[in-house]
A and B are shown apart, each in its own frame.
Chain A
Amino acid sequence: MKNYTNIEFELKDNIGTVWFNRPDKHNAMNDVMISEIIDCFEEINNMDDVRIAIIKGRGKSFCAGADLNYMKGIAEFGYEENYQDSLRLAKCFNVIYTCKKPTIAVVHGAAIGGANGILAACDFVYCDDETKFAFSEVKLGITPATISPYVAKRIGEYGARDLMLTGRRFLGKEAESYRLVNKSLAAEELYEHVNSIIKVLMTSGPDAMAACKTLIYDISNTLTFDESINYTAKMIAELRASKEGQEGMASFLEKRKPNWVK
């Protein structure tokens, strides 16, 4: 893995942690940071020794959203350059959403604007009860455009209308009730809870999890209901004949652990 300047990648016990690392700016995202996140997640997809990817922020906040100096500056270039840069931002959320490994965002402090695209695109999101959330884009005369597909998937169209039009601030528990995050916990319980989920994920078949993410992606985004009948039959036919599926079912019937569990 390369060395990055705005993020940091840490690998330990088959867990890859992506740290947002601009604590002096509350981890606000600029063009360099966005490119580094894309690069890092592309690398993670190719690393067999990473079974789970986690995103966290260094310092007081998870992330304050887009760095407004960069946002304002880029708009002064021509439209084409402005558009290409915006596409990179959209790609950043998409690369997290389509990561082949299960992804977990661990959120604390503040998650403002675009920061919510990072967390909403992750498979699991856990936050500290004190975290402040806001979709404050309309307060600045812009829109939460590139994050909206992921936020709407989590909180639904009318939840999105509520939070995105008001831009109001809300805390962890309300984020949980809107389903923006999977669970909000007291600060002292957060890491223990994340560790318990990691432990559970480590007993799932790695190929099966990647296939399961493809399944959920296709059912959610590309297939009609009628198409899903043949597609899902094909998928289970393939997976149960696969090496991992055969090992998994054999281990269950023989009452032993499968070979991917340490």
Chain B
Amino acid sequence: MEKFNTIEFELSKKIGTVWLNRPEIHNAFNAVMLKEIIECYSEINKMNNVRVVVIRGRGKSFSAGADLNWMRDVAKYSYQENYNESLIVSECFKTIYTCKKPTIAIVHGAAIGGANGFIAASDYAFTEENTTFSLSEVKIGIVPACISPYILKRVGEFGTKDLMLSGRRIKGNEAEKYKLVNKSLPESELNEYLEKIIRNLMTSGPYAMTSCKNLLYENANLNSFYSSIDYTANQIAERRASKEGQEGMASFLEKRKPNWIIK
């Protein structure tokens, strides 16, 4: 993995952690950071020694969202350039959403505007109770466009309207109630909870998790209800005949641990 300027990648015990690393400006993102995140997740997809991916922020905040100096200046470029830079934002969230490994966002301090795209696009999001969340784009005359597909998937259409039109600030527990995050915890319990979830994910078959993410992607985004019947039958037919599926079922029947468990 290359060295990055605005993020940092750390690998330990098959857990890859992506640190947002512009603490002096609360990890606000610009085009450079987005491109580095895209590159980092693309690499992670190819790394067999990464089983789980965590994204979190250095310093006081998870992320303050888009760097407004960058946002304002981009608008002064030609429309095509402005549009191309906007596409990087969309591509970044999509890269996280389609990551082949399970992804976890650990949120603290503040998650403002676009920061919620990193969170919502991850498979799991856990937050400290005192984190401040806000979809505040309409307060500055813009819209939370690129993050909206992922927020909508988590929060639903009417919860999304509530948070996006008002731009009001909410804390961790309300974010949990809206299902923007999976769980909100006291600061002192967050890391322990994360370790517990990771331990659990480490006992899941790595290929099974990748194909499970694929299954959910296709059912949520591509299949009609009718086409899902045939599609899902194909999926299980393939998985149970696969090497990993055979090993997993054998280990269960033989009352032993499957071979992907790290001793």
Q: A residues near B, CB below 8 A?
A: 102, 123-124, 153-154, 156, 179, 182, 197, 200-201, 203-205, 207-209, 211-213, 215-216, 219-220, 224-226, 228-230, 232-237, 239-242, 244-253, 258, 260
User: Which of B146, B162, B164 contacts A232, CB < 8 Å?
Assistant: B146
Complex CA distance for A245 and B113, rounded to whole angstroms: 14
25 A–B contacts from the bound complex (CB under 8 Å): A123-B165, A124-B161, A156-B156, A200-B166, A200-B167, A201-B165, A204-B138, A204-B165, A204-B167, A208-B140, A228-B148, A229-B91, A230-B87, A232-B148, A233-B86, A236-B86, A237-B82, A240-B71, A242-B142, A244-B141, A249-B140, A252-B68, A253-B69, A253-B72, A258-B139
Would A208 and B152 be within 8 Å (CB), given that A153-B158, A216-B160, A249-B72 are in contact?
Answer: no
**Chain B positions within 8 Å of A124 at CB level:** 161-162, 165
Chain B residue at minimum C-beta to C-beta distance from A221: B157
Shortest CB-to-CB span from A213 to chain B, Å, is 7
Majority SS of interface residues in chain A?
A: helix
Complex CA distance for A216 and B147, rounded to whole angstroms: 11
**Chain B positions within 8 Å of A219 at CB level:** 148-149, 152
For B146, B157, B158, B222, the residue with the greatest tally of chain A CB atoms inside 10 Å of its CB is B158
Would A248 and B140 be within 8 Å (CB), given that A213-B165, A229-B90 are in contact?
Answer: yes
Shortest CB-to-CB span from A257 to chain B, Å, is 10
For A207, A241, A250, the residue with the greatest tally of chain B CB atoms inside 10 Å of its CB is A241
Are A208 and B143 closer than 8 Å at their CB atoms? Answer: yes
With A154-B157, A201-B165, A204-B166 given, name 16 new contacts (CB 8 A): A154-B156, A179-B156, A205-B139, A207-B141, A208-B140, A213-B161, A215-B143, A219-B148, A229-B90, A236-B89, A237-B79, A237-B82, A239-B143, A245-B142, A248-B142, A258-B139
Chain B residue at minimum C-beta to C-beta distance from A260: B141
Are B146 and A233 closer than 8 Å at their CB atoms? Answer: yes
How many A-B pairs fall under 8 Å by CB?
A: 164
Q: B residues near A, CB below 8 A?
A: 68-69, 71-72, 74-76, 79, 82-83, 85-87, 89-91, 94, 137-146, 148-149, 152, 156-162, 164-168, 220-222
Chain B residue at minimum C-beta to C-beta distance from A224: B221
Are A216 and B141 closer than 8 Å at their CB atoms? Answer: no
Complex CA distance for A71 and B137, rounded to whole angstroms: 44
Complex CA distance for A246 and B71, rounded to whole angstroms: 9
Are A212 and B144 closer than 8 Å at their CB atoms? Answer: yes
Chain B residue at minimum C-beta to C-beta distance from A198: B166
Would A242 and B141 be within 8 Å (CB), given that A216-B157, A232-B146 are in contact?
Answer: yes
Complex CA distance for A209 and B137, rounded to whole angstroms: 9
**Chain B positions within 8 Å of A247 at CB level:** 141
**Chain B positions within 8 Å of A204 at CB level:** 138-139, 165-167
Complex CA distance for A26 and B149, rounded to whole angstroms: 40
Shortest CB-to-CB span from A222 to chain B, Å, is 13
Closest 8 CB pairs of A and B: A248-B141, A248-B140, A244-B141, A205-B141, A233-B86, A225-B221, A241-B75, A204-B138
Chain B residue at minimum C-beta to C-beta distance from A253: B68
For A201, A228, A240, A245, the residue with the greatest tally of chain B CB atoms inside 10 Å of its CB is A240
**Chain B positions within 8 Å of A245 at CB level:** 75, 140-142
**Chain A positions within 8 Å of B75 at CB level:** 237, 240-241, 245-246
Would A249 and B71 be within 8 Å (CB), given that A216-B152, A219-B152 are in contact?
Answer: yes
**Chain B positions within 8 Å of A179 at CB level:** 156, 158-159
Shortest CB-to-CB span from B226 to chain A, Å, is 16
Shortest CB-to-CB span from B102 to chain A, Å, is 20
Would A182 and B138 be within 8 Å (CB), given that A200-B168, A204-B166 are in contact?
Answer: no
Are B138 and A208 closer than 8 Å at their CB atoms? Answer: yes
Would A229 and B157 be within 8 Å (CB), given that A208-B142, A237-B79 are in contact?
Answer: no
Shortest CB-to-CB span from A120 to chain B, Å, is 8
Are A211 and B143 closer than 8 Å at their CB atoms? Answer: yes
Chain B residue at minimum C-beta to C-beta distance from A234: B83
Complex CA distance for A211 and B143, rounded to whole angstroms: 7
Complex CA distance for A212 and B72, rounded to whole angstroms: 19
Are A250 and B165 closer than 8 Å at their CB atoms? Answer: no
Complex CA distance for A258 and B220, rounded to whole angstroms: 39
**Chain A positions within 8 Å of B168 at CB level:** 197, 200
**Chain A positions within 8 Å of B139 at CB level:** 203-205, 248, 252, 258
User: Which of A220, A234, A246, A250 contacts B157, CB < 8 Å?
Assistant: A220
Shortest CB-to-CB span from A155 to chain B, Å, is 9
Chain B residue at minimum C-beta to C-beta distance from A226: B221
